[in-house]
Chain A
Amino acid sequence: MRSARRQRGRRLELRRASSLEDLEDSLFLAGGTELVPLLRNGLVRGESLVDIRDIVPRGIDGQRIGAGATLAELECDPQVPEALREACRLAASPQLRNMGTLGGNLLQSTRCWYWRLNWPCRLHGGDECFAREGEHREHAIFANDFCASAHPSDVAAALVALGATLRTNRRELPVAELYRLPSEDDRRTTTLADGEVILDVDVPAPGRSVYLKAMERKRWAFPIVGVAAARTDGTTRVALAGVAPIPWLLDGSVDAATPLPRNAYKVDVAKALVRRAEAALDA
């Protein structure tokens, strides 16, 4: 027998940040398209909520993009490389893209249904990955032995392929280093510290870049597989969305994937899209 008794939710304090000081112990609110549903569903809890829209840059200035820029602003700006624009355009719905910001998009949580329904899974600190044994058709085909969640961000894959770097209020780092695979000792999927805010993103102009996405319907769906590819000075970087717990820089072939019984089809889809992305760069 189990006793299920939940605590009543507490009222959250909301304040508007005017400086980069004193951000510890707070949740950051920008577009709210991810945070608000997470709060509503009890997946994120906190004492105070800080509206950071006044302190996060949002302009687009050549290669430098403010983390507060919305996806809608990015998708139509000719200064933005093709892969990033297309990743924005194929993400979410127009309403969500009008609100959702670049920084928030990079920090969104997995769509794994077990995680979203608050099952006590490894990402939630538990000792089981329910998806591995259960329903995992939308889940990871790489690095899925500890946690099979799939990272949903189209934009993150594009930035990893483009070799973008982030500036936070503490440091500068390649976008790829924003992410870490969850492990037994540390279940987090990002390296962001408490009180650390992404301020802007430096996106080097590639020779060519492309983003291709497979979805379960034509619009407004997270990627089954997203493939970003960028080529600069003869070097091609390919990064995938929706195939691993974090944006996945492809090092070698998709054949190295370790699919689960019900998601091997993702390997076929990924192979086809990688082939097409590379062909598009050659064209």
Chain B
Amino acid sequence: MARLIRTEKEVEGRYEEVWLVVEEDALEQWPAGPRSIVGQPALRQDGLERARGEAVYTADLKLPGMLHAAVLRSPYAHARVARIDLTPALALPGVHAAIGPQDIEQLTDECGFQGAAVAAVCADTYAHARAAVAAIDIDWEELPVLLDPDEAVARGELIGEPRVRERGDYERGLAEADVVVEGTYRTQVVLHNSMETHQSVVQWVGDTLEVYISTQYIWGIRDEIAQGLGLPPDKVRVVCNYMGGGFGSKNSADDYTFIAIELARRTHRPVRCALTRREENLVSGNRNATIQRLTIGARADGTLTALRGEYVNATGWNGWSSPVEGPMQMLYACDNVHTTTYGAKINQPPMKAFRAPGFVEGTFGLEALLDVLASKLEIDPLELRRRNHTDHDASDDRPYSGKNLLECYRRAEPHWSRREEVRARSTETVKRGVGMASQIWYGGGGPPSYAWIRVGSDGRATVVTAMQDIGTGTRTAMAQIAAEELGIPLEHVTVSLGDSTRGPFASISAGSSTTPSMGPAVRAAAADARRQIEEIAEQRGTPGAPLAEIVGLLEDAQILGKGARGPNPAGMQVLTFGVQVAEVAVDVETGEVWVDRIAAVHDVGRVINPLGASSQIEGGIIQGIGHTLSEHRLHDPGSGRILTTSLDAYKLPTIADVPEIVSELVDEPDTQLTNLGSKGLGEPPIIPVAAAIANAIRDATGAEVHQLPISREEMLRALREAAEREKVGAPARV
């Protein structure tokens, strides 16, 4: 039965109080442990289609008569359009329409960052459109740029209000401390660089707008467009069958979609608007740079007495200030915590959510400084973390729905205990060491989300829900859940997804929420169908008869099940946890860092597909290694213009940079959470990577890195600083 509740909705650490209509979740959880299908490794249902190139992504779509759009973007970090004339573009062959700042709100003549969209043209081919954009007659008035985030904060140029979060009495906590450590940590701008660039293909069919888009949120796109255009939402159809990566950057419709819509309206033709790789490196969002000024106070036994953080998010021209203080607030027990977080408004392209936004950056600073503390106190770093473990949410006193971090630590022991052996393999010039870091993050998902299921006389089932699989393998996980509940082979379940007109509302695929939001709805739908089949069996006088036997009687009749995601447990904090142990080698003469091995142990409740889960962990760790060692979006310090706009200048990790990865999941269902007890795994694996590597570098060399990426320059600086410190005689490692 549906009921109305007041609840907190969380996406990527941002909360809002909402009224929600939810349905009761009456199913009992399955007992812990792998079952016949759920918990068993399953190949991706669409793996072959993708590998063979048969899967049609938005980027592959060619609609009859489709035109191609190109966008004029600001070449300056801050400039005003003094004059613009589109007529030279319209005069060129193959050009069908051109729009400028007066036409739609996504085009502007006041550009606060390089890449801001000013005008757009559509033409028979992309080359024609590009040439027409180049022909637009435009005069720019360049304006002064503000690039330094500290200066922006000092001048009050902020995104949102400064966020102060305080508990206990920080000053008193500091007074109780036997040891105080301080450090300033900086993280760089990194880019999502999805394989499939941001793009949409749109067409008007009668009074309905069809939008084919590479997106993480079919329903959000539908509502955003309907609202933007003043259309009833059911006049907007949003389709995304296959998706080439998003990592948080594809949650909204963005300028390119509205440009395509307006050009399609004017030309009565389908229009594609796709970012080029260079545009993707400029305006598709980023993980913003941060500055973190941190203080930790502790007693001699390691008990944390005071934590303080002053955080600056270099947010960009707009966006939001990510929860970079989250790990300091939440990861450990400490009575006295004070954090202030500023979002600096600067003339740089806006940030977007990027795989655990804020927590990746905040974990680097906090966990690196915690190892400095461990070494001062001469306490084993893993033991220090155990001593400060908390059994309830330290930031708001709520109990956890489930937490197995201590079990993660226990399972990390064999990896952590390799330290002596790893260090012993050091040479004169190559030093080796082991480091660890903890992980905390959200990932509980939530209502509403729905699924339907139909079972035919052939004994096969089709799950229908308008969710999206953003490449993480959730399509396969949903099939496993339905097959498990119905007791039929996995191959007998098809999942139909990716189309807002074909199926009920489904969750955003962000905040590690697809599996925990959608999985319970799919199981509820399958259970609904199963109950109906069981009732038929009873009416027939053969209770308990096999499903195939009963549905075999159906002929053209079908069993239709529906299911909804129930509420999250009231008054509880639903979080994910984990720990990673990194082994590194550092060439102390050239500053080269190798990551040899990363062991990851995470707690995300019940695991649906161990094979898909290990892929998520590997992907997160590899992306984390790029963040830690090589990726860096650079800008010219004078003008603010972006310098790394291609994949040779912006250095993603290659396969040669990937270490041995050992992954393990605790796989204990969260007994408080839904009929599955599963949480999300999309984001947790990237969170502790940088800190674990930095701490391994410290273990290997005594050098304290304070900046990402850990380039040769930063590594050699840290080594020089450590050599200076050694002269004074401080202990290098514990």
Instruction: Using CB atoms and an 8 Å cutoff, list the residues of chain A in contact with chain B.
Output: 1-9, 93, 111, 113-114, 116-117, 130, 133-135, 137, 214, 216-222, 224, 262-263, 265, 268-269, 272-273
Contacts and interface: CB of A to CB of B under 8 A. Distances in A.
A273 B590 CA distance: 8
Interface in B185-231: none
Interface stretch (B310-318, B522-530, B543-551, B710-718): B710-718
Interface stretch (B105-113, B293-301, B441-449, B650-658): B650-658
B5 interface: no
Contact of B592 (A114, A116, A117, A214): A214
A216 B651 contact: yes
Interface stretch (B52-60, B134-142, B175-183, B249-257): B134-142
Interface residues of B, number: 42
Interface in B593-644: 594, 629-630, 634-638, 641, 643-644
B660 interface: no
B164 interface: no
B711 A8 contact: no
Contacts of B711: 137, 216
Contacts of B648: 111, 220-222
Nearest to A92: B648
A217 B590 contact: no
A263 B636 CA distance: 15
Interface in B643-686: 643-646, 648-649, 651, 653-657
B592 A217 contact: no
12 contacts: A2-B140, A4-B140, A93-B654, A113-B634, A134-B636, A137-B713, A214-B592, A218-B656, A219-B655, A221-B651, A268-B589, A268-B716
A2 B712 contact: no
A117 B643 contact: yes
A220 B712 contact: no
A175 to B, nearest CB: 25
A3 B140 CA distance: 7
Given A134-B636, A135-B635, A273-B590, A6 B134 contact: yes
B591 interface: yes
A133 B636 CA distance: 9
B637 A134 contact: yes
Interface string B111-140: 000000000000000000001001101111
B82 interface: yes
Contact of B634 (A1, A130, A135, A219): A135
A133 B638 CA distance: 8
A137 B188 CA distance: 15
Contacts of B654: 93, 217-220
B101 interface: no
A224 B711 CA distance: 11
A257 to B, nearest CB: 15
A116 to B, nearest CB: 7
A217 B635 contact: no
Q: Is the interface of A mostly helix, strand, loop or mixed?
A: loop
Contacts of A218: 594, 654, 656-657
A217 B643 contact: no
Nearest to B644: A113
Contacts of B635: 135
Contacts of A134: 636-638
> Closest 7 CB pairs between A and B?
A218-B656, A272-B589, A113-B643, A265-B713, A219-B656, A6-B134, A217-B630
B140 A1 contact: yes
B629 to A, nearest CB: 7
A237 to B, nearest CB: 22
B657 A217 contact: yes
Contact of B636 (A3, A6, A135): A135
Nearest to B635: A135
B75 interface: yes
- Pick from B630, B651, B656, B712 the residue with the most CB of A within 10 Å: B712
Contacts of B138: 3-5
A265 B649 contact: no
Nearest to A5: B137
Contacts of A4: 75, 138, 140
Given A216-B651, A217-B653, A217-B657, A8 B139 contact: no
A139 to B, nearest CB: 12
Interface string B153-170: 000000000000000000
Nearest to B130: A9
Given A2-B139, A9-B131, A111-B649, 12 more contacts: A1-B82, A8-B92, A117-B641, A135-B637, A217-B653, A218-B594, A218-B654, A219-B656, A224-B712, A268-B716, A269-B590, A269-B712
A111 B649 CA distance: 8
A113 B630 contact: no
Contacts of A111: 648-649
Contacts of A220: 648, 654
- Pick from B92, B656, B713 the residue with the most CB of A within 10 Å: B713
Interface in B554-597: 589-592, 594
A217 B716 contact: no
Nearest to A265: B713
B345 to A, nearest CB: 22
Nearest to A272: B589
- Pick from B75, B92, B592, B653 the residue with the most CB of A within 10 Å: B592
Given A8-B134, A135-B634, A262 B713 contact: yes
Given A1-B140, A4-B140, A134-B637, A265 B589 contact: no
A224 B715 CA distance: 14
A9 B132 CA distance: 11
B93 to A, nearest CB: 10
A278 to B, nearest CB: 14
Contacts of B82: 1
A117 B645 contact: yes
A214 B712 contact: yes
B649 A113 contact: yes
B591 A265 contact: yes
Contacts of B142: 2
Contacts of A269: 590-591, 712, 716
Nearest to A113: B643
Nearest to A130: B636
Interface string B273-292: 00000000000000000000
Nearest to A7: B134
Nearest to A268: B716
Contacts of A9: 131
A4 B592 CA distance: 43
Interface string B359-392: 0000000000000000000000000000000000
Contacts of A7: 134
Contacts of B716: 265, 268-269
Nearest to A138: B649
Contacts of B657: 217-219
